[in-house]
Chain A
Amino acid sequence: MQGQASIRQGYVAGEFMTRTYRISGEVEAKGTPILDQLNDLNALFLHLKRMFISPLLDPTVLTGNFEQGEVRKDTLGLVVLSQWRDGLPLREGRYVGPDHVDREVFVVVSGFEVEGAIRLHKSVNVPNFVRTTPEQFIPIFDAKATLTARRSVVFKGGAILVNRGHIEVFAMLKD
């Protein structure tokens, strides 16, 4: 967490978006970062602690709260994390390095319009990467997600992890 002495060590809080719900919860990320847990093909569900649910169209209203629960990963369109470092995998080299550059992208996913930057080595062709990477979730840094059906609903995060399987449109804003 950017070197901060956070209140709860080892847990990462995030917003998990399905088509209809905003689920706020915490993931124990000690040893296995949240991106690696989302991309673990051996587990269909993600375990959340302190899970609070709101309808996406009224995202500040708490309609349910649970000490812990499971979220089916393939129903998630995107995951919003406040700190960009929390969006990195254990092997950070793919998304962090001296020759990495930010490329601005626009993604329509699960009813959201996401704008932000994909951070990859300068030699990587981004559209090719999105088409061919074996990972289900990819991080978009310093990103903003606007709900198309209600544009006042906006989520911002240091990283937004986008479910590739739910992407409807992907475009580069600049080359």
Chain B
Amino acid sequence: MSRILVIDDDVNLLQMVKLMLERVGHQVEIAKDGMQGVQMAADHQPDLAIIDVMMPGLSGYDVVRKMRQDPRTARIPILILTARSQPMDKEMALEAGANAFMSKPVTAHELTERVEAVIRAGVNYRVHTGLLTEPIPSRLGRPVGRPAADPLAPPRQTPTPPVSGAAAQPTSTAETTRTSPKPPPRLPVTTVISLRGGTGCTTIAINLAAALAGDARRVCLADFSAVGGHVALYLHLKPEHSWQDLLSQGDTPAVAQLPGLLTSHTASGLTVLAAPPRPLDETLSTPATHSVLRALTATYAPVVVDSRQLDPATKGALQVSSSVVVVMTDDPAAVQSTSQLLGVLAGMGVEMGRIRVVLNHVRPTFDVPADAIQKALKRPISVDVPYEPGQPIAVRRGVPLVSTKPDSAFARSIQQLARTVVS
């Protein structure tokens, strides 16, 4: 479920759009003109704003520009929905700062599909017809507006609506926004995480990295697990070094040393930053993780991080990741743990648009249906990975399945995931 603000002066249309979106579980707020919409966006900070162009007073373009100029609303994805459907109108909307453009009339299916794609993609991407997604070059790596919250801070409270008729007071969120430290810039990093064991998180991370490497990218797979990471084991690697070698250097690791810590996996073309062979009670600090990932992304793009706990290193990775893959299975405990993890991620300032939920079927039998999982999580499953009986053989061979069985349903779903994390 997402919170969506719809700004349109046409009351009938507002009601129709509200109904369409509420029917699929979104929470919708409505504003009847541009000024009210700008104020509500700043006060409520929705996950998405749908804006009409043709409104009296402030036009839709003006509303978009005002939202992009205000740090409180600059990172809210915007979808323009208008009867002015000419290519020049679309160009104007995207130039003003919108993320997507739809012309009326739209069907409920078209609208909800595009809304979900825009929320998933986040503010740094444009989502075109057919859900084609492209990055907005001027915004990538330059986060503006609402900074990510301090990972150690308590979860963000939902701001309360302003009292009708009263002058809008700055909410606690807005105050926090003005005083929070500047967040680290986003990097081409994908963090794959699951807090529950046995969900196949490492399998997904390895296969995702291999799928990305198969598209002629230089990919590094970083195993940030402090409790006996399995990446090296799954790939039959015997690394001589790991990130443990950097621990003694505190917050400022000598990144020049990094190339010497990496291990190559020839069959998949991956480069691996391995985890220590034995469990440790210590991990890289958050600033040290930022430095390591900054250095790695200078050579490798993307870097895929495999993580299974919420320690300082994982927090550092999550802060700079352009996408976060949450892996779960279909058993009730995994659903509960994923729901809790999503709440923690929200509290850490990881926007919903960066998160992809992957349902990984690690058993041939089914447990909780996908629909029920989506309802429980209040968000869609991005990719459903089918059960693959050949997985144990792949581990025994030390080669990811996407490389050995590229036509399997498992490999196709991983390819689908790869497309969503790089789009």
Contact = CB atoms under 8 A, between A and B. Distances in A.
B89 A4 contact: no
B407 to A, nearest CB: 37
A48 B86 CA distance: 19
Contacts of B103: 82
A5 to B, nearest CB: 6
Using C-beta atoms within 8 Å of the partner chain, give the interface range for chain B.
Answer: 20 to 34
B54 A4 contact: no
B88 A154 contact: yes
A165 B103 CA distance: 31
Contacts of B53: 62
A60 interface: yes
A13 B107 contact: no
B106 interface: yes
A5 B107 contact: yes
B310 interface: no
Interface string A32-72: 00000000000000000010100000011010010000000
Contact of A26 (B83, B86, B107): B83
Contacts of A8: 10, 12-13, 16, 104-105
Interface in A3-19: 4-8, 13, 15
Given A6-B105, A8-B12, A26-B83, A62 B59 contact: yes
A110 to B, nearest CB: 17
Given A5-B108, A62-B54, A24 B84 contact: yes
Interface of B is mostly: loop
Contacts of B84: 15, 24, 52
A7 B17 contact: yes
9 contacts: A13-B104, A13-B105, A52-B84, A59-B88, A60-B92, A62-B53, A62-B59, A152-B88, A156-B87
Nearest to B111: A7
Given A13-B83, A62-B59, A7 B88 contact: no
A24 B87 contact: no
Given A60-B61, A65-B54, A7 B105 contact: yes
Interface string B51-63: 0011110010100
A7 B106 contact: yes
Contact of A7 (B16, B54, B56, B87): B16
A50 B52 CA distance: 12
Given A5-B107, A5-B108, A60 B88 contact: yes
Interface string B313-340: 0000000000000000000000000000
Nearest to B14: A7
Contacts of A62: 53-54, 59
A167 interface: no
A1 interface: yes
A169 to B, nearest CB: 23
A153 B87 CA distance: 9
B56 A65 contact: yes
A50 B10 contact: yes
Nearest to B15: A7
B104 A6 contact: yes
A4 B10 CA distance: 20
Contacts of B59: 62
B54 A24 contact: yes
Given A24-B83, A82-B85, A156-B87, 5 more contacts: A6-B104, A7-B104, A15-B84, A15-B86, A80-B86
Contacts of A4: 105-107
Contacts of A59: 86, 88
A173 B89 CA distance: 29
Nearest to B95: A60
A61 to B, nearest CB: 9
Most A CB atoms within 10 A — which of B56, B61, B87, B108? B56
Contacts of A15: 84, 86
Interface string B2-17: 0000000010110011
A24 B54 CA distance: 9
B312 to A, nearest CB: 49
Nearest to B81: A7
Contacts of B13: 7-8
